[in-house]
Chain A
Amino acid sequence: MLYGLLLVGGKSQRMGTDKSQLIYQNDTPEWRRLKALLTELCDEVYLCHPEGQQFPDSKAIIDPGDGPLKAIHAAQRAHPEAAWLTLACDMPLLDLKSLRHLVESRDATKPGTCYLSPIDQLPEPLCAIYEPASSAVIARGIQENQLCPRSHLKDAHHVTPLSPHVLINANSPADKIEVQAILEGTQTEKKLTLQYFAQLKELTKKTEEDLTTHYATASGLYEQIKAKYKFPYKQKDLMLAINDEYVPWEQLLKEGDNVVFIPPVAGG
């Protein structure tokens, strides 16, 4: 028995709007599009959200708050017999073909089945199947305040996505531009120069490098570079400069740009 769980209750500070309501394709908000994918593949589908929110024509699991692991466990407690195909609502490039690939790759003898991120090779906890057997371990994790769902997928069956973009998260307006460029096929190859300063110079052991990228914005590019060199900074900790000017992350990259990720500054 496979049930679907769509997590729609998350706050989105960086996007500045509710990610489940964003529209990328066919005038359909993401929660409806992803719910439809789950409905194709699952026996039953639930939306997991905080008490008081309303999603039309949907069955709800109330999200106790405090992160996705507790949400997943709330679903497991409500229907202990089911395996839960769990999705976050910020994966605008996830399509039926990819989700079906995950379901068809399922190994029910393992605690779960999940994709490995093509960027950092880590398990993706919010596009994953949690088997009933994982419930006890997750309960213990919650008791011990180990709330990172990824840590519960180390022994899961790991699947490689069919396309490198499937799992892209859209967390900011710049990410949204990136996703739209992929959906509309407007990504182009550009030659850029990256310059590195301070810790980033130490980690890369370079002051600059030339590279070719298909990313539309420096936001997409940063995630790739961050994984490659193991930068300790999240995008929101950094400022961005292009051609020796501070610019917003939404700025489109163009041929020949000089891009600098600015780690937290420390003058004075």
Chain B
Amino acid sequence: MNLFTISEDPIDINAIREASLDPHSGGFTSFEGWVRNHHNKTAVRSLEYSAYKILAEKEGQKIVQQAKDKFAIDTAYCSHRVGHLSIGDIAVYVAVGSAHRDAAFTACRYIIDEIKTRVPIWKKEHYEDGSTDWPHCQGCSH
């Protein structure tokens, strides 16, 4: 399984969990990013994700590989959805397995934080009042 994928279909979180199973691992953490119904105080109807797929997959794989090099973990995968998503849909899924829990929590956090700042993925928010906007990561380094 690829370490990072951009997915046009709903993310198969069970398949990723299955791929993470490892006799060396004593713990597994996952993070699901969900589409929520508000941004600041504005009511959100849906989110439209798009990506520069080739570069996003390259950069995403780099991030997951960096997590594997940096932390004492056994497995790490991430998948990010693109397309028009509804409230409650899973936009991003991160899965990490490790011998001990600390490394799994830390690596999971590292992966989602880096994805948000470096991977060329964008979202267009569609609000309940019919307007739209392109919010972006406020903590980006650039």
Contacts and interface: CB of A to CB of B under 8 A. Distances in A.
A244 B135 contact: no
Interface stretch (A67-75, A85-93, A162-170, A234-242): A234-242
Contacts of B135: 266
A265 interface: yes
Given A262-B120, A264-B137, A244 B54 contact: yes
Given A265-B119, A268-B116, 12 more contacts: A197-B50, A241-B52, A241-B120, A244-B55, A260-B52, A260-B120, A265-B116, A265-B118, A266-B116, A267-B115, A267-B121, A268-B33
Contacts of A251: none
Given A244-B55, A267-B80, A268-B92, A198 B122 contact: yes
A267 B134 contact: no
- Interface size class on chain B is 20 to 34
A246 interface: yes
A265 B122 contact: yes
Contacts of B120: 197, 239, 241, 260, 262, 265
B140 interface: yes
B25 interface: no
Nearest to B48: A198
Interface of B: 33, 49-52, 54-56, 58-59, 80, 91-92, 112, 115-124, 134-137, 140, 142
A98 to B, nearest CB: 34
Contacts of A266: 116, 121-123, 134-137
A245 interface: yes
Nearest to B122: A198
Given A244-B54, A245-B55, A266-B123, A238 B142 contact: yes
A264 to B, nearest CB: 4
| Majority SS at the chain A contact face | mixed
Contact of A263 (B49, B80, B134): B134
A236 B142 contact: yes
Choose among B117, B118, B136 the residue with the greatest number of A CB atoms under 10 Å from its CB: B136
A199 interface: yes
Interface in A108-157: none
Counting from the closest, the 4 A-B pairs by CB-CB distance are: A267-B121, A264-B136, A198-B122, A268-B116
B59 A268 contact: no
Nearest to A197: B52
Contacts of A237: 142
Contacts of B137: 264-268
A198 B119 contact: no
B55 A265 contact: no
7 contacts: A197-B50, A197-B52, A197-B120, A241-B120, A266-B134, A266-B135, A267-B115
A222 to B, nearest CB: 14
A264 B56 CA distance: 13
